[in-house]
Amino acid sequence: MKTRTMNQDWITTARTLSEALPYMQRYSGAIVVVKFGGNAMGDADAMAEFARDIVLMRQVGVNPVVVHGGGPMINDLLGRLGIESKFVRGKRVTDQATVEVVEMVLTGLVNKRIVQAIMDEGGRAVGLSGKDDDLMVCEADDPELGFVGRPIEMNVQVLRDLFSAGIIPVVAPVATGMDPLETFNVNGDTAAGAIAGALKADRLLLLTDVTGVKDGSGEVLTSMTPDDVRRMTADGTIAGGMIPKTETALKAIEEGVRAVVILDGRVPNACLLELFTDHGAGSLIRQPSPAPVEE
């Protein structure tokens, strides 16, 4: 006769699922926009883990939108084609030749790789770009940068239609201009923030290759208000590559996103930790709760 010894790992798993129930109920029906990029995009195991997390979110009633970048892949193809990459203030100068490569890589190679990873984990996903159904219409962000766009018009009904069908949208940050013959390269964080704002998303998760926003002593801040971010930017505590991310967070909150989280995408199951546990996985930015009214 066989006997079964209860493995402590399984007990821990069951307890974790039970403790996650209130969070799953809290986010059922919520819209969560996830900016995916960084080193995880080039690692097959990390990609599969991310896709599994997104499928689980959809399975428990969350409406996720994945917005992705693809800088390393763009750099690789530009190099192979002999097209020099130039940057101004940390942003890629995008001429006509470069924007054609950007569109090819983001809407083709990268977008379809993410879609396939989600489908491999049992989810339903559709890849699209900001051009599809005029999801994102842009104007030039800075004449020095060429075809780098800033969203000025958002049409997110196509995303809501996909939610209704149980499909996960995967969006490449390439957009049209007011002239439909124009193509713009859009920063991935900027695109994710614009989409989250237009959807009035419950959460915008910006996955990065750092642990979060740090204070002056180097400690990661788990919770901040927009005023905290502005003060830390003014005094130089927030600097460098973190500034565009916090600027995206502030604009998204102004446009109605309930909260933005800058979190470490290198942490296993970072999205699930942030949404479905007390622990969280990064720096949450939101407006302070209103003070209770005294009677």
Q: In whole angstroms, what is the distance from residue 207 CA to residue 279 CA?
A: 16
Q: In whole angstroms, what is the distance from residue 33 CA to residue 7 CA?
A: 36
In our burial notation (b when 16+ CB lie closer than 10 A, e otherwise), range 221-237 reads beebebebbeebbeeeb
Would residue 86 be called left, alpha or beta, if left means φ above 0 and alpha means ψ between -120 and 50 degrees? beta
Q: In whole angstroms, what is the distance from residue 35 CA to residue 213 CA?
A: 16
End-to-end Cα, the chain, rounded Å: 68
Q: In whole angstroms, what is the distance from residue 69 CA to residue 102 CA?
A: 10
Cα 39 off chain centre by: 14
Q: In whole angstroms, what is the distance from residue 231 CA to residue 228 CA?
A: 5
Which residues is 185 bridged to in the sheet? 148, 174
Q: In whole angstroms, what is the distance from residue 171 CA to residue 88 CA?
A: 25
Rg (CA), the chain: 20
**Residue 70 is assigned to a ligand binding site:** yes
**Residue 71 is assigned to a ligand binding site:** yes
Contact (Cβ atoms closer than 8 angstroms) between residue 166 and residue 61: no
Annotated binding-site residues read 70-71, 92, 185
Annotated binding-site residues for substrate read 70-71, 92, 185
